[in-house]
Structure 1
């Protein structure tokens, strides 16, 4: 697959389909996130320009059954695998 068939990675992306920052076309491809130089596999949402990611806070769920997330600040880089 070439880079011309993949959409550009947005600055702000969320895995939640209800979010306004969810881009379904991006999730048709395998993407990865580097956070502070290490690859993370548990990222729920990220923003490159503001330098943060949201990850689940253990097994804790909110009242709607979705995982509670915490925001971590640092250097964020998104890429296609």
Structure 2
């Protein structure tokens, strides 16, 4: 049997959704990614680091002075996976 799905790149330890970030990897976002934080799946994660154990999520509708969402850094157990 052959697997017809494309080869998925390994998920990095640190990944960001923001294309201006040095931790942004465009090839990863061609696939559906999930983040589990403290045992619960989150869909609002903008950036994560598995080894340091944190995620960055938007703080509601609050914006910074450049018009981007204000981020909160939450610490806990982080797991990244492909859906």
TM-score category by the smaller chain? over 0.9
Structure 1 unaligned blocks of 5 or more: none
Q: Distance in 2 between matches of 1:55 and 1:17?
A: 16
RMSD of equivalent CA atoms: 0.7
The TM-score with structure 1 as length reference comes to: 0.95
Between structure 1 and structure 2, the one with the greater Rg is 2
Structure 2 unaligned blocks of 5 or more: none
Q: Which runs of 4+ in 1 moved over 2 A?
A: none
SS in 2 for 1:25: helix
Q: Distance in 1 between matches of 2:67 and 2:27?
A: 26
The TM-score with structure 2 as length reference comes to: 0.93
Give the length in aligned residue pairs.
79
